Structure 1
Amino acid sequence: MAENIKDRTKKLAVDIIRFCEKFAKETKYFVIEKQIMRSATSVGANYRAACRARSKAEFIAKLGIVEEEADETLYWFEIILELKSEYEEEIRPLYKEMQEILAIIISSKKTARSRK
């Protein structure tokens, strides 16, 4: 499962970067574009770090970072949609995939906490 999530988070990061390349190049969107690329790429990078954790506590902590970054990415998508609704068709599958990854991460954290 870990390899699957690694692949999914990397693919999603690349897809989001490609989306941002098309995003309006107006100055007012510059910060949003950079923030969503930062948070989206951070999801995969921090998941990989979690997979290399040296302890259960470190694993759970790193998954917490993944959770925060995934949720932040969803937030930035919501902001984009409020400002530029014409991106909805492109954002919908990216948003859905990030939601699914977020749900898996939350479930993984719960499972890790419950194991002794």
Structure 2
Amino acid sequence: MEGITRVKSRKFAVRIVRLYQFLCNDRNEFVLSKQLLRSGTGIGANLAEAECAISKKDFLSKIYIALKECSETLYWLELLKD
């Protein structure tokens, strides 16, 4: 059974990809949307890496990077909204 963070981060990444496609195709927005795509999909990627960490320090590092990706994603979403 998959963990809740894996499921939620994957669903979030799918939503980010769809938003990216909409922004590119319908709004002709390519710069900010690319940054959003990278940070929004990076959350789940770092959580997946954390699952295979070789030490507690490595695990915490990957989790913290995922948290930073969350913060960055929020920044891009707010900038796109404004």
- Per the normalisation by structure 1, the TM-score is 0.64
Query: How far off its partner does 1:20 sit?
Result: 1.6
Between structure 1 and structure 2, the one with the greater Rg is 1
2:39 is matched by which residue type in structure 1? Answer: S
SS of equivalent to 1:54:
coil
The reply to whether residue 30 of structure 1 matches residue 22 of structure 2 is no
Match of residue 6 from structure 1 = 6
Structure 1 CA distance for aligned equivalents of residues 45 and 62 of structure 2? 10
Identical pairs, percent: 37
Question: What stretches of structure 1 of length at least 5 have no aligned partner?
Answer: 83-116
Query: How far off its partner does 1:3 sit?
Result: 1.5
Q: Which string of whole-angstrom CA distances, capped at 9 and with x for unpartnered residues, describes residues 2-31 of structure 1?
A: 611101101100111111211111xxx311
Match of residue 48 from structure 1 = 48
2:51 is matched by which residue type in structure 1? Answer: C
Query: How many pairs does the alignment contain?
Result: 79
Query: How far off its partner does 1:73 sit?
Result: 0.2
- Per the normalisation by structure 2, the TM-score is 0.89
SS of equivalent to 2:54:
coil
Structure 2 CA distance for aligned equivalents of residues 33 and 19 of structure 1? 8
Match of residue 59 from structure 1 = 59
2:13 is matched by which residue type in structure 1? Answer: A
Question: What stretches of structure 2 of length at least 5 have no aligned partner?
Answer: none
SS of equivalent to 1:41:
helix
Q: Which runs of 4+ in 1 moved over 6 A?
A: none
Query: How far off its partner does 1:61 sit?
Result: 0.6
